[in-house]
Amino acid sequence: MSWIIVLILGALLAGFVQGVTGFGSGIVMMVFLPSLLPINQSAGVSTLTMLIATIMLAWRYRKALTPKKLVVPFAIYIVVAVSSLLISGNLASNHLKILLGLLLIILSLYYSIMSWKSVTVKAIPFIVMVVFAVISGFFNGLFGIGGPLMALYFLTISESKENYLANLQTFFLLDTFVMTTLRFSSGILTLDNLKFVIVGIIGALLGTILANRLVGHLNVRIMKMIIYLFIGFSGCYYLLTSI
């Protein structure tokens, strides 16, 4: 029963973060899931946990979708993601936890600075898009955390909030189908893992509903900083426990 409590709390927080910031559910889930499952299974469960929410958003904003903006970044992203997934089994769990810890710390620092400085990026060159796609794909294959840089990319190139959400959620949906199929076919995920997914979906939906009700009454900037710091502390925990 303890795993149910941990997973519901983690997924609830993930859904809440996603509802407030527009991304980050994978980061939050990977704070909790490695205490229940191996890293590569955690990544798969994390991705599937937000599937229903992703489908709902992609369908809601489908009329604002611009498919041509997805083709090149997704092609680069998915090739790297598949490659990193295939090599993840050859890496020791401690090495994966070190990488996860470093990634969480870097993301925490990056978004804390961006939020503190109120930085607005107005354009992303092609080469930077390639770098974003490669980095995102690599860490998505390992940990199911591929969203932050791609969110920044689509936020920059999109013409409206609706266009941003349509492009990003469709991107994530395609990624979920490809990577989940590969994880099941390669034996990383099994039917036994679906119990974690189902419980996670319940928590994620509760978190999303809570975010929708409370977001208008919260100081979003302060809350984001707390979330980013929490992610950073979690990264330090994984790093220290892997050394």
| Residue 227, CA distances (Å) to 121, 129, 230 in order | 22, 26, 5
Listed residue (52, 40, 13) closest to 211, CA to CA: 13
| pLDDT, mean of residues 33-42 | 84
**Helix, strand, or coil here: 192?**
helix
Spell out the SS3 assignment of 208-227.
HHHHHHHHHHCCHHHHHHHH
What pLDDT is recorded for position 60?
Answer: 81
Rounded CA separation 147/84 (Å): 16
Residue 161 CA to residue 201 CA, distance in Å, equals 25
User: Are the C-beta atoms of 232 and 108 separated by less than 8 Å?
Assistant: yes
pLDDT at 1: 64
For the chain, the domains span: 2-242
- pLDDT at position 66 is 92
pLDDT > 90: percent of the chain: 19
Q: pTM for this one? A: 0.77
Q: Kindly write down the DSSP assignment for every residue of 103-129, as one continuous string.
A: HHHHHHHHHHHHHHHT-------HHHH
Q: Is residue 175 within 8 Å of residue 146, measured between CB atoms?
A: yes
First to last CA, the chain: 30
